[in-house]
């Protein structure tokens, strides 16, 4: 699985003019399941995100995690994180998980974060969403479950 993690002061996701998810200080997380991903990948990625030390401590250093700060998360499905841009000008998305697997793993990721004690709100899988955020720092981190055992 892949995740693009952004430290935010606030973020929201809107579908058909209605805000369906939001977070205050915490993380905006775009998530994509890849072909071959299993539940364990969603669980491990959620744990990495929750423990990622990208929040400021009392000395201003990035030394605290989402769990340390008690922040919340907005999790939005984003299959375009699977984009293959190695050839041509049009990205390919064939390495993304099939929609039914993608939905299951996206929901599993969000639930794994909740199980760790993080307040999580979500977007709507497969919907046309408008995402708004105020990036704090800015801090934006790319994670891929295939990069770490």
Q: Which of 78, 85, 93, 125 is catalytic?
A: 78
Q: What is the pLDDT of residue 10?
A: 98
Number of structural domains, the chain?
1
Cα–Cα distance between 63 and 47 in angstroms, integer? 16
Domain interval for residue 126: 2-144
Question: Does 107 fall in a domain?
Answer: yes
Whether 79 is catalytic: yes
Give the CATH number, domain containing residue 7: 3.50.80.10
Question: Does 20 fall in a domain?
Answer: yes
Please count the other Cβ atoms lying within 10 Å of the Cβ belonging to residue 27.
Answer: 30
Whether 93 is catalytic: no
Question: Does 149 fall in a domain?
Answer: no
Task: Retrieve residue 67's tokens.
Answer: 């769990």
Q: What is the band of 70 on the pLDDT scale with cuts at 50, 70, 90?
A: very high
Q: Which of 14, 79, 109, 122 is catalytic?
A: 79
Q: Which of 9, 35, 80, 140 is catalytic?
A: 80
pLDDT at 50 over 70: yes
Question: Does 73 fall in a domain?
Answer: yes
Cα–Cα distance between 3 and 131 in angstroms, integer? 15
- pTM attached to this predicted model: 0.94
Q: What is the pLDDT of residue 32?
A: 97
Question: Does 126 fall in a domain?
Answer: yes
Q: What is the pLDDT of residue 148?
A: 60
* Helix, strand or coil, per DSSP, at residue 36: coil
Whether 80 is catalytic: yes
Please count the other Cβ atoms lying within 10 Å of the Cβ belonging to residue 7.
Answer: 24
Q: What is the pLDDT of residue 145?
A: 86
- The rounded mean pLDDT for the chain is 96
């Amino acid at each position: 699985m892949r995740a693009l993690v952004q430290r935010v002061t606030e973020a929201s996701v809107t579908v058909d003019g209605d805000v369906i998810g939001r977070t205050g200080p915490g993380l905006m997380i775009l998530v994509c399941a890849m072909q071959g991903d299993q539940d364990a990948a969603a669980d491990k990625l959620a744990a990495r995100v929750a423990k990622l030390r990208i929040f400021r401590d009392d000395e201003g250093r990035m030394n605290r995690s989402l769990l340390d700060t008690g922040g919340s998360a907005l999790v939005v499905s984003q299959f375009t994180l699977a984009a293959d841009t190695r050839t041509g000008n049009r990205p390919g998305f064939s390495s993304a998980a099939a929609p039914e697997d993608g939905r299951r793993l996206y929901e599993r990721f969000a639930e794994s974060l909740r199980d760790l004690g993080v307040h999580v709100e979500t977007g709507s899988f497969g919907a046309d969403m408008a995402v708004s955020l105020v990036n704090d720092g800015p801090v934006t981190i790319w994670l891929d479950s295939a990069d770490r055992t």
